[in-house]
Amino acid sequence: MIKKISVLLVAVLFASVLASAGPAEFNKGKFYLTPQIGLSSWGGSIPFGANGEYAISENIGVGGTVMAQFWSEPYWKESLISIAAEAYYHFLKLNVAKLDLFVGAGLGYSVVSVTYDTGFTTGSDASSGLNIWPLVGARYYFSPKMAFSLRLIGSLLGNFTGFGAQAGVTFVLN
């Protein structure tokens, strides 16, 4: 599944390079949808999910992210699903063509499920809870409607404190 998603992301990036390039930046009233995959210090697999952002002003966006990851070992299975509301500030005055740099913060909730069977004991456990994370990110526009997105996130509160990165392709919707 992860390989299919990776191949799809590479294909979309390649197609977007071939698309016509023009002026593109963060614009009030636009919606930005980013399917993404990530790397994190929170678990044993590759997280995947999506981010949505609505531009409420020239520099401010609000949105949310949903990420999930599932992994297992011979004696246990775990899942982590995170849902967050986020706010962003975009630095549009940098005069760098096709680049959108931003910072933000998120408040979310992570739902964790752990089941285990050691041969001697079986059971389940969960350590769900609130998360707060700052983030920095960038989008590089290949065309007015598509961009490559990279976000670096640090979780400061909850059972899943640590750092991660998310990469994806952003689609600009009207």
Give the CATH number for residue 9. 2.40.160.20
User: How confident is residue 102, by pLDDT bands cut at 50, 70 and 90?
Assistant: very high
123-133: average pLDDT: 75
Q: What is the pTM of this model?
A: 0.79
CA pair distance 118, 28, nearest whole angstrom? 54
The predicted pLDDT at position 4 comes to 42
Which stretch of 27-36, 64-73, 92-101, 142-151 has the lowest confidence by average pLDDT? 92-101
Contacts of 60 (CB under 8 A, 6+ apart): 87, 88, 89, 90
148-154: average pLDDT: 93
Is the pLDDT at 19 greater than 50, yes or no? no
* pLDDT, tens digit, 9 for 90 and up, residues 77-100: 888 888 999 999 999 777 788 899
Is the pLDDT at 45 greater than 90, yes or no? no
Query: Which DSSP symbol is given to 20?
Result: P
Range of the domain at 149: 2-173
* H or E stretch at 73: strand 60-73
Q: How many domains does the chain have?
A: 1
